[in-house]
Structure 1
Amino acid sequence: MAIIKTKKGIKLSYQDEGDKTAPAIILIMGLGAQMIVWPDSLYYGLVKKGFRAIRFDNRDVGLSSHLDDYKNPSLFKTWLSKYLPIRSNIPYLLDDMADDVLALMAALKIKKTHLVGASMGGMIAQTIAAKHKKKVLSLTTIMSSSSTFKPTIKSLKVFLKVSKLQPKTLTRSAAINYNIQLNQLIGSPAYPQSEELLKEHAIKIIDRSYNQNGYKRQLIAIAASKNRAQLIKKIKAPTLIIHGNADIVFPSIEGEKTAKLIKKSKLKIIDGMGHNFVPELTPKMTKWIAKHIKKSQRKYLEKLRNKKHQLVNQNKL
């Protein structure tokens, strides 16, 4: 693992594997999740398919900067401040997290990249693809959304269940137990994982780093950020959208909405998949992503060749 420091003073922990001259893929993880939540089989699978793969910890999670100087703002007040003149202390927005990715690209001297984002990471990737078109060669979003946070009866029930699971005391065992229960709640019903496997995963996560307040601040960033519906229409990069029809965090209709907003995007709905990565689906997902990126890379290289030919022909005239 390595670390870069952005101009704004944010430290980002990252992993960079594969041939440095190969097409670069930056994987952006979701809410409260560390970069090691990306399955190794998917991450190294992309490397084996000839790509340079980079995964990193977003600000406020893992080994990246924990912004503990900020107080924990209220999610309810943040949502309410969009509709009423109520002040809400907002540490940062999704735009700031998108700037972190751009800073990482600059530090690694990557001018153009393929973006793959999961959940909140998909929102960050959408923001970059829409605002920095020339830097993004392709976009893949997994179990993500293009909507702003709008509480519904179903979403409130999910958040209520999650809040009840959160440990009152920040002990290692309580954190591990919370992680297990959370993954059982939002996981894939068609691909249940044993408690033993979930515990092994939880221990790996908690022993690496645990920042419960960072999760809350990232949630505020999602809630406080502007609606991306109009912004997303500006995305020109070839886009692949992967979603599960058993996702209780972001129902599959969110993937369908995103597909309608982005021209020529491709939507793949997976039966029985929830809001997590499961071993049984990783090979298929890796194959889809690699195929999508290779096709996008070919189109980009074709455009470059055509431009060169045009310049040569113009010079001959």
Structure 2
Amino acid sequence: MSTTDGTAGSEELIAPLGPDLELCYQTFGSPDDEPLLLVMGLGGPMTWWPRELCERLADRGFYVVRYDNRDTGRSSRMDQRVRRSHLVRAFLGAAGSPPYSLTDLAGDAVGLLDHLGISSAHVAGVSMGGMIAQTVALEHPDRVRSLTSIMSTTGRRTVGWQHPALLPSLLWSRGEREGYIESSEKLWRIIGSPDYPTSAQELRDRAGETFDRGMSRMGVMRQMLAILGQPDRTDALGALTVPTAVVHGRADKMVHVSGGRATATAIPGAELVLVRGMGHDLPAGLYETFVATIRRTADRARRTVGAETP
């Protein structure tokens, strides 16, 4: 059941956003606190925002909302088929129309806020979720109180690059649950934080939970196409006035640290937090770094407009 002290999350609920789209979401903390929307990255269900991290954020005065993006977890699946050849062409910059775009995913986030009756929220996103969060801030500026972009990039191909050899690792080979768990553990060993390692059992448990929530190989490919087809937001980000923080690991192999630096450079007044030994994950050893940064950025928004009613 829903609680108001930030010690536990509500039940998982469904938000109907259209005839063919429903998003699964969960909240932590009191609706009377400042709303904070957490947006996860490629193929990641909302549970990749760890429960303890959500609870810590709720303890710091946020009404935390985490959710499954479309094609992820218990949210709706789209029906367009994608082939690996489509990904290769998109990676090479070939023109094409993806099944949906980051604009569509940003619209989903805003639709969830509408469903919850939240006029504006602090928004934090990880990786693809950071791209979505940036897009929400650009296309729906009145809905964003503050922005925290974590291990993400601007969409410019010359920064935040990923080695092409990692692309196949994002798609597990055909097979059952155990095959996904094994390939997931292997990937996180490559891209995780070297100074904040996660145990093999934790990696396997998370992968099993991800698979059981409804892992869609085709859905991951559709999300990849949205990422590969994203525009370069660099110039547009220069017009943002919302208080912003950019967090990036110096050891990130999935999105090179240049992506974080470029994002912070593009957004006027953005705070850049570079973390030594952090890769492309949210390790427990850095929870307080994430919480403190999001809280500090939200406080900047409060000082900008004065004390506000959540």
Question: Shared fold by TM > 0.5?
Answer: yes
Deviation at 1:177, TM superposition (A): 0.9
State how many pairs are aligned.
296
Equivalent in the alignment of 2:225 = 220
Equivalent in the alignment of 2:282 = 277
Give the partner amino acid of 2:30.
D
Check the 8 A contact 1:149/1:222 in 2, yes or no: no
Aligned partner (choices 21, 29, 36) of residue 25 of structure 1: 36
Bigger Cα displacement from structure 2, 290-299 vs 26-35: 290-299
Deviation at 1:78, TM superposition (A): 2.6
Deviation at 1:149, TM superposition (A): 4.9
Deviation at 1:152, TM superposition (A): 9.8
Give the distance between the partners of 1:297 and 1:3, measured in 2 at CA.
31
- Deviation string 1:97-133 (CA, Å, 9 cap, x unpaired) is 0000111111111111100000000001101111222
* 2:226 matches 1:203: no
Equivalent in the alignment of 1:181 = 186
Equivalent in the alignment of 2:89 = 77
Check the 8 A contact 2:162/2:256 in 1, yes or no: no
Deviation at 1:55, TM superposition (A): 0.3
- Deviation string 1:271-304 (CA, Å, 9 cap, x unpaired) is 0000011111112221221222133224323599
Equivalent in the alignment of 1:130 = 138
Check the 8 A contact 1:130/1:236 in 2, yes or no: no
Deviation at 1:260, TM superposition (A): 0.7
Bigger Cα displacement from structure 2, 268-277 vs 40-49: 40-49
Q: Under a length normalisation based on structure 2, what TM-score does the superposition of the two structures give?
A: 0.89
Give the distance between the partners of 2:157 and 2:109, measured in 1 at CA.
22
Deviation at 1:8, TM superposition (A): 5.7
Equivalent in the alignment of 2:13 = 2
Which consecutive residues of structure 2, in runs of 5 or more, have no partner in the other structure? 1-11
* Residues 151 and 50 of structure 1: CA distance in aligned 2, closer, same or farther (over 3 Å): closer
The structure with more radius of gyration: 1
Which consecutive residues of structure 1, in runs of 5 or more, have no partner in the other structure? 305-317
Bigger Cα displacement from structure 2, 258-267 vs 283-292: 283-292
- Deviation string 1:49-76 (CA, Å, 9 cap, x unpaired) is 1211000000000000011x21114112
Aligned partner (choices 97, 109, 122) of residue 101 of structure 1: 109
Deviation at 1:94, TM superposition (A): 0.5
Check the 8 A contact 2:173/2:180 in 1, yes or no: no
Secondary structure at the residue paired with 1:6? strand
- Deviation string 1:11-65 (CA, Å, 9 cap, x unpaired) is 1000122221211000000011000000212111111112110000000000000
Equivalent in the alignment of 1:239 = 244
Equivalent in the alignment of 2:55 = 44
Give the distance between the partners of 1:49 and 1:152, measured in 2 at CA.
31
* Residues 265 and 103 of structure 1: CA distance in aligned 2, closer, same or farther (over 3 Å): same
Secondary structure at the residue paired with 2:124? strand
Deviation at 1:151, TM superposition (A): 10
Secondary structure at the residue paired with 2:117? coil
Secondary structure at the residue paired with 1:217? helix
Equivalent in the alignment of 1:147 = 155
* 2:294 matches 1:286: no
Equivalent in the alignment of 2:45 = 34
Task: Quote the RMSD (CA, aligned, Å).
Answer: 2.1
- Deviation string 1:240-277 (CA, Å, 9 cap, x unpaired) is 01000000111111111111100000000000000011
* 2:169 matches 1:157: no
Check the 8 A contact 1:29/1:118 in 2, yes or no: yes
Secondary structure at the residue paired with 2:65? strand
* Residues 150 and 172 of structure 1: CA distance in aligned 2, closer, same or farther (over 3 Å): farther
Secondary structure at the residue paired with 1:249? coil
Give the distance between the partners of 2:182 and 2:162, measured in 1 at CA.
24
Equivalent in the alignment of 1:307 = none
> Whose helix proportion is higher, 1 or 2?
1
Deviation at 1:89, TM superposition (A): 4.9
Give the distance between the partners of 2:289 and 2:255, measured in 1 at CA.
21
* Residues 152 and 43 of structure 1: CA distance in aligned 2, closer, same or farther (over 3 Å): closer
Equivalent in the alignment of 1:13 = 24
Secondary structure at the residue paired with 1:126? helix
* 2:307 matches 1:297: no
